[in-house]
Amino acid sequence: MIKKILNLLKYWGKLKTRVNHIFTNLVSLQKKYMLPQNTGFSKLSKNEKINWITTTYFSNPIESEQLVKQYWNTDAAIQKLHDEFIENTLTNFYLPLGVAPNFVINKKAYTIPMVIEESSVVAAASKSAKFWLTRGGFKASVLGTEKIGHVHFTYLGEHKKLATWFSIKKEQFYSDVNYITKNMEKRGGGVLDIELINKTDKLEHYYQLHATFNTKDSMGANFINSCLEQFAKTLKHELADCDDFSAEEKDIQIIMCILSNFVPNCVVRAEVACKVEDLNEETNVDPLEFAEKFLKAVQIAEIEPYRAVTHNKGIMNGVDAVVLATGNDFRAVEAGAHAYASRNGSYSSLSHASIENGIFKFWLDIPLALGTVGGLTSLHPLVKFSLEMLGKPSAEELMQIVAVAGLAQNFAALRSLTTTGIQKGHMKMHINNILNQFKATKEEKEKVLSHFVDTTVSHSLVVDYLDVIRNNSDTTN
Ligand code: MEV
């Protein structure tokens, strides 16, 4: 028994030492990777920030600092502009800006700018554009432009009493935001409606002011949020002034005021259609067989969420690339698109297809809250370049262009998937990236590309073949 107790004490001692050791290591690690207390990182100069980062995290600080600075723009004014877009900027992070020509949308020709890191997306968009160019081009129409925002609040009284009060006071809410809305109204936009929504069946005492807006050519986030914050003030002070409400009823709590990125009434439709017999070209597949297989692929994405997510990802390849090139908020667009794809309770395809009376139709409905004024649109030189290339479109026209880029991308992906398979085209494009990664010379690239013309492509096969070429040239030298 005593022996057991002694063993236990010995074990306890060892455990304590081990825990102390881990704790000391953690503290010193934390010290190493943390700024000394009270040093505000944001207060450091750009050079000081780079210095701290490179000396703290990198085995070769000089090389890391050179790399970071290599991406600075040589024009100090352009660099300053980019530095000030966000906080704690160290350098720029490049993404390629490519273009997809040959788009005809509502009978107007466009070359579409695309910012994306994934190879073959721009090529696929261009290929789709060319395919539809000879089949009437793309059509697009805006189905709605309504944006939404909420004042989320709690109220402890009776719903009916608040609803009656709100219907009498509603005009006050409009007039109190007049100082924010008057310019927007001159452009044809403004607050469309404000509703009081009772959400107490979902969450105790929870209510909303659900407001709808038209923000014309601006994305409108600042406009909407400013209006909402004013609505919250009006709600609070007007209720406080009302003698019909008890102190408890007046004690509403504003939880938050914010726009919603779910915009199911700010939707655009992009579509293509042609005779089934015109769906020939290149694929060596009978047009009707192609159309029916394509339709089945879309139907699978409509009912199978696993496929729908990838199918929609392909659409977003086109959508995000144009959204980025035109300085819009791709996170907002992504969040809104996927919420829309699930609006009926199960995640589904954003695009649809039909074959009726010998006509093949393929279309996409997507919510897009975009702007062509405000935000980055007049600040980022390449955003200005992209918008000018598109003919300085209105927000509605840009919605149409972006939706078409998504549909074109989806068409290209489904066309490859249902005929040759995605890898043939995809990996051929990818070869170039692999070759660049291994610093292949021009001759090596030519040899590898011609070797893989009719051969299966994979990352390891390309690397192995490059090795063979290099070893052969070593032995022949
Ligand atoms: C790849 O970026 C996109 C695809 O997976 C889309 C799709 O499967 O439809 C090819």
pLDDT number for residue 414: 97
Q: Which of 296, 304, 311 to mutate to test the pocket of ligand 1 (most atoms within 8 A of CB)?
A: 311
Give the separation between CA 69 and CA 74, rounded to whole angstroms: 10
Report whether residue 413 contacts ligand 1, using a CB cutoff of 6 Å. yes
Chain segment 399-425, per-residue pLDDT in tens: 999 999 999 999 999 999 999 887 776
Q: Ligand 1 mean position to 314 CA, how many Å?
A: 4
Domain that holds residue 25: 1-34
Q: Tell me: do 63 and 123 sit in the same domain.
A: no
Report whether residue 314 contacts ligand 1, using a CB cutoff of 6 Å. yes
pLDDT number for residue 23: 55
- Nearest partner of 138 among 452, 421, 411, judged by Cα: 411
Q: Tell me: do 278 and 349 sit in the same domain.
A: yes
pLDDT number for residue 37: 63
Q: Which of 307, 317, 409 to mutate to test the pocket of ligand 1 (most atoms within 8 A of CB)?
A: 317
pLDDT number for residue 445: 86
Q: Tell me: do 280 and 372 sit in the same domain.
A: yes
Burial of 440 (0-12, 13-18, 19+ CB in 10 A): buried
Q: Tell me: do 294 and 416 sit in the same domain.
A: yes
What tokens were used for 414? Answer: 């489904």
pLDDT number for residue 434: 87
| Catalytic residue ranges | 118, 313, 329, 426
Nearest residue (by CA) to ligand 1, atom 2, is 314
Q: Tell me: do 280 and 399 sit in the same domain.
A: yes
pLDDT band per the 50, 70, 90 thresholds, residue 19: low
Q: What is the DSSP letter of 36?
A: P
Q: Tell me: do 296 and 183 sit in the same domain.
A: no
Number of domains present in the structure of the chain: 5
Give the separation between CA 132 and CA 412, rounded to whole angstroms: 11
Q: Ligand 1 mean position to 72 CA, how many Å?
A: 34
Report whether residue 422 contacts ligand 1, using a CB cutoff of 6 Å. yes
Please give the C-alpha separations between residue 245 and each of 155, 156, 194, 198, 283, in angstroms, as whole numbers.
Answer: 11, 11, 21, 18, 72
Chain segment 147-158, per-residue pLDDT in tens: 999 999 999 999
Statement: residue 378 has pLDDT above 60: yes
Q: Tell me: do 407 and 293 sit in the same domain.
A: yes
pLDDT band per the 50, 70, 90 thresholds, residue 33: confident
Domain boundary at 420, 437, 460, which? Answer: 420
Q: Tell me: do 416 and 280 sit in the same domain.
A: yes
pLDDT number for residue 38: 65
Burial of 402 (0-12, 13-18, 19+ CB in 10 A): buried
Report whether residue 425 contacts ligand 1, using a CB cutoff of 6 Å. no
Q: Tell me: do 285 and 139 sit in the same domain.
A: yes
Indicate which atom in ligand 1 lies nearest the CA of residue 416.
Answer: 10
Give the separation between CA 346 and CA 344, rounded to whole angstroms: 6
pLDDT band per the 50, 70, 90 thresholds, residue 456: confident
Indicate which atom in ligand 1 lies nearest the CA of residue 422.
Answer: 10
Q: Ligand 1 mean position to 241 CA, how many Å?
A: 58
Chain segment 59-105, per-residue pLDDT in tens: 999 999 999 999 999 999 999 999 999 999 999 999 999 999 999 99
**Average pLDDT score over residue span 178-207:** 98
Predicted model pTM: 0.87
